[in-house]
């Protein structure tokens, strides 16, 4: 009874605050619409990072980087495992970045325009032609200074499962001759089941209603994709993400043995 009441109170406070924060940052992002992509990405990725850091503060999300945190330079493709919609907040708070998003998001009122203005790149997998165009757009965006976080599993997964990586993201990396930064992370408490097992708001109520959370993030060695075969780049990156995840998970278990 007390747990249910506490979560209801936390959600009642946090959800409107989250909407207000998002509206505030979206307003600033929309001011970037008239500018060319390089300018939009320069300011947009920083606004997204400030938004993510503020959300971490709102939800009392503590982030522990296991090992050394590399300096992620502009024009890098960051590849991570995918737990749920909280991933954007956690990884986005670590460095200025933009994300890949489904093409349908672009047509959403305000949200779509805001995402586009911030430099978010949209992926359309509806056909081979659309997919090829998305690959070229991602490559072009990265070469213009976008640091992109991609979740090539294509969907959320249960911890500790990491699904097969889709090939399209790595075609972009090879096409643009850009480095790949592997990332693996895990969390305590509210992300263990993943989002795909329940409705979004039910997942938010149970996880967002908790007082605090702890994320563990580990980075792999930088991978040079230039001149590589996309399938090979995908396989090498997946192995690096799995190794980084194992280190992050070991740190979590050492801190919280009962979460093993």
Assigned CATH topology for domain 2-259: Glycerol-3-phosphate (1)-acyltransferase (3.40.1130)
pLDDT of residue 242: 95
Q: Taking the chain (260 residues) in consecutive chunks of 10 residues, what is each chunk's mean pLDDT?
A: 67 81 86 85 88 90 92 87 84 86 71 74 64 70 79 74 85 84 83 54 66 90 82 93 94 81
For the chain, domain boundaries: 2-259
Q: Which of 181, 184, 169, 11 minimizes the C-alpha distance to 83?
A: 184
pLDDT of residue 209: 66
Q: Which of 219, 70, 238, 105 minimizes the C-alpha distance to 166?
A: 238
pLDDT of residue 64: 95
Q: Which residues contact 5 (CB under 8 A, 6 or more apart)?
A: none
Could you tell me if 46 and 116 are in contact, meaning their C-beta atoms sit under 8 angstroms apart? no
168-176 vs 230-255: helix crossing angle, rounded to 10: 110
State the alpha helices, DSSP H only, in the chain.
2-30, 37-58, 87-92, 111-117, 128-143, 168-176, 200-208, 230-255
Q: In the chain, how many H helices and how many E strands?
A: 8, 8
**Residue 55 to residue 52: CA distance in whole angstroms:** 5
Measured CA distances, 77 to 91, 170, 217 (Å): 13, 9, 17
Q: Within 13 Å, how many C-alpha atoms sit on residue 27's CB side?
A: 5
Other CB atoms within 10 A of residue 129 CB: 9
Question: Taking the model in full, what pTM does it have?
Answer: 0.84
DSSP state of 164: P
pLDDT of residue 236: 93
Residue listed under structure tokens 């749920």: 84
């Amino acid at each position: 009874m007390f747990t249910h009441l506490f979560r209801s109170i936390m959600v009642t406070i946090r959800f409107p605050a989250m909407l207000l924060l998002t509206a505030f940052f979206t307003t600033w992002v929309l001011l970037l619409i008239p500018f060319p992509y390089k300018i939009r990405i320069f300011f947009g990725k920083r606004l997204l990072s400030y938004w993510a850091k503020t959300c971490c503060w709102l939800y009392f999300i503590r982030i522990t980087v296991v090992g050394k945190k590399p300096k992620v330079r502009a024009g890098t493709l960051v590849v991570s495992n995918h737990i749920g919609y909280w991933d954007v907040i956690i990884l986005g708070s670590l460095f200025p970045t933009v994300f890949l998003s489904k093409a349908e998001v672009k047509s959403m009122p305000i949200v779509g325009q805001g995402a586009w203005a911030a430099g978010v790149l949209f992926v359309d997998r509806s056909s081979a032609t659309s997919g090829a165009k998305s690959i070229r757009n991602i490559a072009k965006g990265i070469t213009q200074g976008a640091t992109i976080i991609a979740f090539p599993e294509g969907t959320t997964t249960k911890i500790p499962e990491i699904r097969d990586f889709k090939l399209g993201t790595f075609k972009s990396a090879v096409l643009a001759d850009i480095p790949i930064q592997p990332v693996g992370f895990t969390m305590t408490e509210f992300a263990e089941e993943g989002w795909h097992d329940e409705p979004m708001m039910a997942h938010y109520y149970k996880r967002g209603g908790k007082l605090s959370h702890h994320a563990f993030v580990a980075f792999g060695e930088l991978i040079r994709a230039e001149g590589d075969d996309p399938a090979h780049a995908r396989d090498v990156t997946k192995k690096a993400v799995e190794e980084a995840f194992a280190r992050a998970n070991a740190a979590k278990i050492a801190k919280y043995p009962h979460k093993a």
